[in-house]
C-alpha cells in the first residue's frame, strides 16, 4: 500500500474520520445473515405454498463464547 501522503486530500480526510469513529465506538465482530423460514401453517399461511418463506434477519456474533470460557 502506498504511503498516505500519496492519497488525495478527500480520501485522507475520509480515512481520518473513519479512524476516529472506529476508535470511539465499540464494535461487534460478526455477520448479518438474511434468511427465510416456513412457519409450518401449510393451510393458513402463504409461506406453505410459496417457494420461499417469511423473511428473517439474524446477527451472528463471533467470539462471545470463546471469551466467556476464559
Q: What is the b/e burial string over 1-36, where b = at least 16 CB atoms within 10 angstroms of the residue's CB? A: eeeeeeeeeeeeeeeeeeeeeeeeeeeeeeeeeeee
- State the pLDDT at residue 14: 92
* Residue 17 Cα distances to 2, 4, 26, 27, 58, angstroms: 19, 14, 16, 16, 29
CA 66 to chain centre: 20
Q: Does pTM surpass 0.75?
A: no
Structurally, the chain folds into a number of domains equal to: 1
Going by pLDDT thresholds of 50, 70 and 90, the confidence category of residue 4 is: low
Q: Which residues contact 66 (CB under 8 A, 6 or more apart)?
A: none
- State the pLDDT at residue 2: 60
Q: What is the pLDDT of residues 8-65, one digit of tens each?
A: 889 889 989 988 888 887 777 788 889 888 887 877 888 877 788 888 898 888 665 5
Range of the domain at 24: 4-68
Amino acid at each position: 500500500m502506498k504511503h498516505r501522503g500519496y492519497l488525495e486530500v478527500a480520501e485522507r480526510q475520509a480515512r481520518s474520520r473513519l479512524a476516529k469513529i472506529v476508535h470511539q465506538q465499540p464494535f461487534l465482530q460478526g455477520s448479518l445473515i438474511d434468511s427465510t423460514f416456513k412457519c409450518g401453517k401449510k393451510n393458513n399461511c402463504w409461506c406453505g405454498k410459496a417457494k420461499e418463506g417469511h423473511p428473517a434477519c439474524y446477527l451472528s456474533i463471533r467470539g462471545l463464547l470463546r471469551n466467556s470460557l476464559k
